[in-house]
Amino acid sequence: MGRTSGSANRPAVTGDVAAMAQFKISSWNIKHMHDAIAPGGKDAARLPFIREQIAQMDPDILCITEATPDLPLLRQWAATLHVPYVVPTIPGTDAALAALPHNPRKALCGLYGYPDNVLSGSQWIWFLVKAGHNLGAELQDPKIWRRFAASQYTDAADQARSDGKWGLFYWAERKAGTWGHVRQPQVLVATIGGARVELIGAHLRSKLNRTNPKDVWTDDTSSEFADPFLREVMNDRIKLATEAENIRKYVDARFAQDAAPAVMLMGDLNDGPGREVFERKHLYFDLIGNLQGSIFEAERFLNHALFDYGAPASGTGAGLRWSYKLSGKDPVDPTRDPHLLLDHIMFTQRLVAKDQFPRIRSGAGLVEHAIHERVNALRPKKVPETSDHRPVSVVLSLA
């Protein structure tokens, strides 16, 4: 397929990570991945192009969202990529698989913190790490996440919880309840360039808008939202915001333990900088602000890999700082720019500190537009795109 050597923004490198000058980390939502890699899967025709896109990106670590829940299948597939990759796991994984070998998803739901339901059943988060690297990479038990995050809540009931849930309070309503991650964030702990780095892989809940005009508007003029629709949409966004807040609680807990932790957050957050119609008129905040933290605690503020990448251009498609394009106009906000940034990589100040490595320098982040377009230009029209999301990457300098 006309493969190039190495990534579009760094030279190809081989050998032990200690000998590298750069280390690339990518995050990609591979739409319905299980349908592509499962034997006889309905989207199997996409698989060669997915493999080629990964080869041309050439990440040292790849975080995949919407990944298959079938870990044995993923392991087999990862070992056959352009270079072999391994899939780090939580201790006890193989024993859990052995106890229920014919249903790997169900076997691992409890251990990995996923609810055993339809919403999270086919969209898991995994990290792929080049097999030749000696990173000591391992996924962290979600019990650690839950206890760390709970310690940062102010309500005693939330502090005492160990089930991964937290209090959920609806705006201007007496109604309250609990909520938890639809897809439990997964934390990869690895030694990169001599430093212990935590990589948080996340895939937050969708906004789940209904689009039937009979449900959305009070009349045919499409000028005023119907009360049931508005209530549902606002409640969905409140749940999404509390998932982001729970991630922030985990990061704050790490700062309570370490003055300068090296933490990266990546994945499909199902929202981006800026406010669409519901945020503009009702919520008055955007999701990323909840995650990045307060400028009054600047040492805890999360930097964004795409802060100084590309030239944003509203509505023209000329800007580069987007990872997902709506297939048509937003049915409830038709003037909205269809180019959205839903996929992110953020990181703590430790990873931009002068004279310390690994270090993320200015201009080190990108959306993999060129590789995505080049690979998909070669697929037959009847074959779906590799994904509806573009991967996002960042390069760490190791020396």
Element containing residue 53 per DSSP (H, E): helix 47-57
Torsion of CA 155, 156, 157, 161, to 10 degrees: 110
pLDDT of residue 12: 41
Element (H, E) at 203: strand 195-203
Give the pLDDT confidence score for residue 232 in this predicted structure: 87
Which pLDDT belongs to residue 353?
A: 93
For residue 345, which of 398, 302, 397 has the smallest C-alpha distance?
Answer: 302
Give yes or no for a contact between 310 and 320, defined as CB atoms under 8 angstroms apart.
Answer: yes
Return the pLDDT at 218.
87
What pLDDT score does 281 carry?
Answer: 83
| Full-model pTM | 0.92
- What pLDDT score was predicted for residue 287? 87
The CA–CA distances, whole Å, from 66 to 23, 35, 267 equal: 24, 11, 10
Assess contact for 200 and 266: CB atoms under 8 A: yes
- Planar angle of CA 79, 93, 112, nearest 5 degrees: 105
Identify the pLDDT of residue 118.
65
Below-50 pLDDT ranges, the chain? 2-8, 10-15, 18
Query: Residue 122: which of 204, 65, 63 has the closest Cα?
Result: 65
